A and B are shown apart, each in its own frame.
Chain A
Amino acid sequence: MLGALFQISSRQWLTHRLRLLLTALGIALGVGVYFAVSTANTALLASLALTVERLAGQSTLQVSAGETGFPEATLDAVRGTPGVQVAEPVIEVIVRTGLAEEGNLLILGVDTTGDQQLRQYEFDRSASQIADPLTYLAQPYSILLSRAFAERHGVNIGDRVPLFTAHGRKDFTVQGLFKPTGIGAVFDGNIAVMDVYSAQVVFGRGRNFDRIDLKNAPGISVEDLQARLRTRLPAGLEVQQPRMRGQALENAVTAMRLGMLITSFIALLVGVYLIFNSFTIAIGQRWKEIGILRAVGVERAHINAMFLAEALVMGVCGSLLGITGGFLAAAEANRVMSSIAASVYGVVSTAVAPRLHSELVLTALALGVAASLTGAWFPARAAAHLDPILALHNIEARQRESTLGWGRAALGAGLILLSSLLVGFAPARVGMTSQFAFAGLMLLGLTILMPVLVHWVARLLRPVLDWTGGSEGALAVDAMIQSPRRSAATVGALMISLMFVYSTGAYIQSYRHMIDRWTSRMLNADLFVATSALLRSTSYHFSEDLGREIAALPEVERVENVRFTLIPYRGDAAAVIAIEMDGFLARAADAVLGGNRETVRKLLPRGQGVLVSRNFSARWSAGVGSRVHINAPAGVLDLPILGIVEDYRSDKGSIFMDRGLYKQYWHDDAVDFVDISLKPGASPTAVKARIERLTAGNEHALVYTNAQFRGWISGLVDQFFLLNYMQLVVAIIVAVVGIANTLLISAMERRREFGILRALGGLRSQIAKVVLLEALTISIVGVLVGAIAALFNIQFMSHTVSTVLAGYDVPYVFPWQLILESLPLVTAVSLVAAWLPARRAMQVQVVEAIGYE
């Protein structure tokens, strides 16, 4: 029986190949985005894991203290701990090279005399040795390079490589080349090794180490040794397994992965609408066929199975198409994600090419099939429950829809209300899955409400279309009013896409507004000198000498040295921004929110209190008057919060303290930014040029005027939102495919109606006009309904998504301008998408069309 039914289905779909293709495309798009993102993400995670594994070597534990390092005496304490088999010091530095067209180089400062017990090095010149170990140890500017890097630059043993150090640009002598195995395979070879004690001097680390890598002795578990070390070492030190370091990197790309996964699910959701639409129409066309089948004794379950089997085949076809496209796009997605990960780590990630993972293929296939079956579920049920007598009746009688009940409207509105309450008031700790479920409720509510919305919005538009479009306009709108469910799928697909576009746009707009407020209030010095083209460099710093040299320029009024670093805080991390507070308050006192201004002025420069950023305050529920407790290398700091400031440099939250206090407790006088205030009348551009001349060839210093600095921050925000822009592009493509799909199918479905119109004397051009005006109406309704959906979704993004990902919410901004600007664009796209259906409608032959069912 099912075989015979399948033959009937096949014939139908072969007759409607274009519809089949467009419907499958709807599924393929969602599956493709999901598969590309997941494959690229798997490759990126594999790359991160490989990097961490190779860098850690045989280390089972790592001791660290955020980015600030710790005194080298800690090494003796670690080595003296029972159960430690090997413990080796590490300084990890990402430096900018002086070579043309070369990015950063990760330098691992290790004690090569002992480190080979932990890490794999394989040198080229002899089996396992540095060319001249004594010279390597004796000359601090000695370096061992990966062969890959050396070959890229034609560098050999004995040659010199320029690198930027704490003492400016220096030439390092290559003392050995290691093979592309072990650590030599990390970061595509952008890795070098030098002596750890030389690295202390060259990179201004004093007598500190960044990390100690260690291995447990046989007979003691890693966990037991970890616990033992935690009790023996000072509180400010972290003892972690190396994979936790990989976890931190993974977390850094989580937001990006999540964003793209949301995009893929949005695309899949649109796919569900397309399938729904396609099957609703197919069933409408095959009504009589279904009636005959039922009349000859085919059971309801078989009818249901026939349509679900069709959906299954379509889901499989669409999914396979999506998987193929997704895999091809994975390389590009991997490149984008890797570049974002590289901006987190500082050097390019270790190359791991995307490859097909059977579990991802199966998941993608399952998602595509599930979307297809979901979309076809209700139409298939409707077909199965068809009354054979009605089915064999005339077409007009069967197309009459049931009235749009208040019950449906109430259910839809209730779900939207419930979702809004949950999004607005549920705490972030309920988890991302629950939060997404809340957003899902809203979409469900809107879907249920969709025919009602379409009906009423179409009614509102009727006079306008009647007036502007004449009888064709009225006919186009009437089609929607009389049969809102038919248009609901098209509008629904459009709504989902536009809702996503609007809410993402609103989020970006809101974030930009916050950044502008921050930069105008806090970053209001005249000139800025930075160490990196990224927000900061974790390893390259200025010395205070640079600030002194700049302060000596006659046009300079005041200079503030800024240190920006991450420290361990309450089992997590927080940023510390150490700045000369007298100078900061002189220019940015208005930026301090809450607290007593006089108290701030009095206590902050003395190091008797701190300011915290808004996200720090939200993250740790710490307001003005609360205390921060920090285990610093030189002792415990317990200070009151004197005020809150807006600062978005770290998603972990920032603690602002006086630089003197920081230097006292961290023994660190490195400088990441120099903020410069000029005397009245001085030209920022001229002083910028002088500073550039001052630093040329010595420091890797980027000098910005205030406008340039804010532009630079804006550029970084753009980079941050690069992914969102990509999501917007996908959403727009989804919208276009959705519109084209539904309009084409709709035109085919109304072939008989157009035939009747033609028989009544309607011109071909009038038929085309009806189709085009209907597309126009759908686009207007789609924009309106999309805006309504965005109204709720913006709340979800600005509150829930932002709090979960960034630790703070962003102000609710409704993107009126974007919605208005999108209207002509969406209309144009709809009209273009409707062009083919309009042409097909024009070509309808009257006799054939009236007989068409």
Chain B
Amino acid sequence: MNETSRAARGHAARVAWSRCAGALLLAASLQASGGPSDARAIIEGVYRQDTSHDALIKAGFEIFDKDGHSTQKKFTVSRIGAPGERRTLVVFSDPQEIRGVALLSISRPGASARQYLYVPAIQRVRAVAVQQRTERFLGTDFSFEDIQERALDDYSYRLLGDTELIDGHKTYKIEATPLDRADSQYKFLHYWVAQDAPVIIYAEMFDDQGAKVRTLHATQLRRLSGIWGVRHTEVHTVREGTRTILSITDVKLNTGLNEQLFTPQALEASAGPKTAD
């Protein structure tokens, strides 16, 4: 099945942290969207299932180098706003040398997200420049392209199969191909979407030569307030043999976060909204 994009291009990308700690976590029920009619509809169901107003998440990265040595980073993610206009604040709490560092992402419809970093040691907020999409995100195995959630309409989709079992879930295997090659480091991506929950539980990304660049494996599916998500995501960079585990320990939805706190000014004034540690 070879689908071309049809919907309007106004559907904005959700930004980095939504992807890491949100998009992989929160997903609408596939059944709620009325069942998969084609590959595009399956992916659309994954992207649009999140209906929460805000979220407060505790999470951590464990980053393994090629020799197996690991470093850990703990953080909280506060997220507010509707898809396409979200503001996400990540505040690092561990280890000590990055404690208090805060990253604010502000999504804008039809434009790339703005990012601001607050560094307590120099007591200032700085704009973070738009990254090259191939760059690693803060030393993890996620690239900047990976954490910027993809717009549905930027890809064409093809259903490759619907019988593979992963971690006991029957899956749809879908190939996503960027419509504009200049927009992506990948030539194509393969997604495995669980048929019993609208969540991508496995993915493979391929470069220009068709070589596998990264794999993503999401486990520990949970449903909270009717929204599906995963609590454990492992990304593996094939060529370098490094991997990163994103673990989510706690999720609270619709807690009534104050939008005024999600601004660069608020960051500089108070090192960002205080979140539970």
Contact = CB atoms under 8 A, between A and B. Distances in A.
B138 A138 contact: no
A126 interface: yes
B92 A134 contact: yes
A131 interface: yes
A111 interface: yes
B98 interface: yes
A139 B120 CA distance: 9
B97 A139 contact: yes
A248 B117 CA distance: 37
B101 A137 contact: yes
B242 interface: yes
Contacts of B119: 137-138, 140, 197-198
Contacts of A131: 139
Given A126-B240, A131-B139, A138-B98, A114 B129 contact: yes
Contacts of A128: 134-136
A127 B138 contact: no
Contacts of B65: 125
Interface string A116-147: 11000000011111111111011110000000
A764 to B, nearest CB: 88
A111 B129 contact: yes
Interface string B40-74: 00000000000000000000000001000001010
A88 B130 CA distance: 12
Interface string B121-148: 1101010111110111011000000000
Contacts of A201: 122
A132 B240 CA distance: 16
A135 B61 CA distance: 14
Contacts of B135: 116, 128-129
Interface in A94-117: 111, 113-117
Nearest to A129: B136
Given A111-B129, A127-B240, A140-B121, A135 B136 contact: no
Contacts of B73: 134
Contacts, number: 65
A250 to B, nearest CB: 33
A353 B240 CA distance: 36
Nearest to B119: A138
Nearest to B66: A126
A128 B129 CA distance: 16
Interface string A162-200: 000000000000000000000000000000000001101
Interface string B91-128: 01000011001000000000000000101111010101
Nearest to A130: B139
Given A126-B240, A126-B242, A140-B122, A135 B129 contact: no
A111 B128 CA distance: 8
Contacts of A113: 128-129, 131
B136 A114 contact: no
Interface in B182-208: none
Given A132-B71, A138-B101, A197 B124 contact: yes
Nearest to A200: B122
Contacts of B124: 197
Contact of A135 (B98, B117, B134, B242): B98
B265 to A, nearest CB: 16
B129 A132 contact: no
A197 B126 contact: yes
Nearest to A76: B127
Interface in B133-171: 134-136, 138-139
A129 B143 CA distance: 11
A128 B101 CA distance: 23
A116 B71 contact: no
Given A111-B129, A126-B242, A132 B101 contact: no
A134 B138 contact: yes
Contacts of B126: 111, 197
A198 B65 CA distance: 27
A127 B66 CA distance: 13
Contacts of B129: 88, 111, 113-115, 117
Contacts of A125: 65
A850 to B, nearest CB: 92
A135 B242 CA distance: 19
Nearest to A72: B126
B92 A116 contact: no
A139 B139 contact: no
A233 B129 CA distance: 22
Nearest to A201: B122
A133 B121 contact: no
Nearest to B115: A113
Which among A113, A197, A198 has the greatest number of chain B C-beta atoms within 10 A? A113
A697 B83 CA distance: 55
Contacts of A115: 129
A138 B240 contact: no
Contacts of A129: 135-136, 139
Contacts of A134: 73, 92, 98, 101, 138-139
B97 to A, nearest CB: 5
A133 B97 contact: no
B71 to A, nearest CB: 7
Nearest to B75: A134
A121 to B, nearest CB: 11
Nearest to A173: B97
A132 B101 CA distance: 14
Given A114-B129, A134-B73, A135-B98, A126 B121 contact: no
Given A116-B132, A137-B101, A132 B139 contact: yes
Contacts of B138: 133-134
Contacts of A138: 92, 97-98, 101, 119-121
A117 B97 contact: no
A198 B122 contact: yes
Contacts of B240: 126-127
B272 to A, nearest CB: 14
A699 to B, nearest CB: 22
Given A129-B136, A130-B139, A134-B92, A139 B131 contact: no
A195 to B, nearest CB: 9
A133 B139 contact: yes
A139 B121 contact: yes
B73 to A, nearest CB: 7
A247 to B, nearest CB: 30
B122 A135 contact: no
A111 B97 CA distance: 19
A113 B120 CA distance: 18
A114 B130 contact: yes
A137 B128 CA distance: 11
Nearest to A175: B139
A200 B138 CA distance: 22
A128 B128 CA distance: 18
Nearest to A111: B129
B180 to A, nearest CB: 17
A527 B249 CA distance: 64
A200 B97 CA distance: 19
Interface string A658-691: 0000000000000000000000000000000000
Nearest to B92: A134
A140 B129 CA distance: 18
Contacts of A200: 122
A741 B135 CA distance: 70
B138 to A, nearest CB: 5
Given A114-B129, A115-B129, A139-B121, 15 more contacts: A111-B129, A114-B131, A116-B135, A117-B129, A126-B240, A130-B139, A132-B71, A133-B139, A134-B98, A135-B97, A138-B92, A138-B98, A140-B119, A198-B119, A198-B122
**Top 7 A-B pairs, shortest CB-CB distance:** A114-B129, A138-B101, A138-B98, A129-B136, A113-B129, A134-B138, A201-B122
9 contacts: A113-B128, A132-B139, A133-B136, A134-B139, A137-B119, A139-B97, A140-B119, A197-B122, A197-B124
Interface of A: 88, 111, 113-117, 125-135, 137-140, 197-198, 200-201
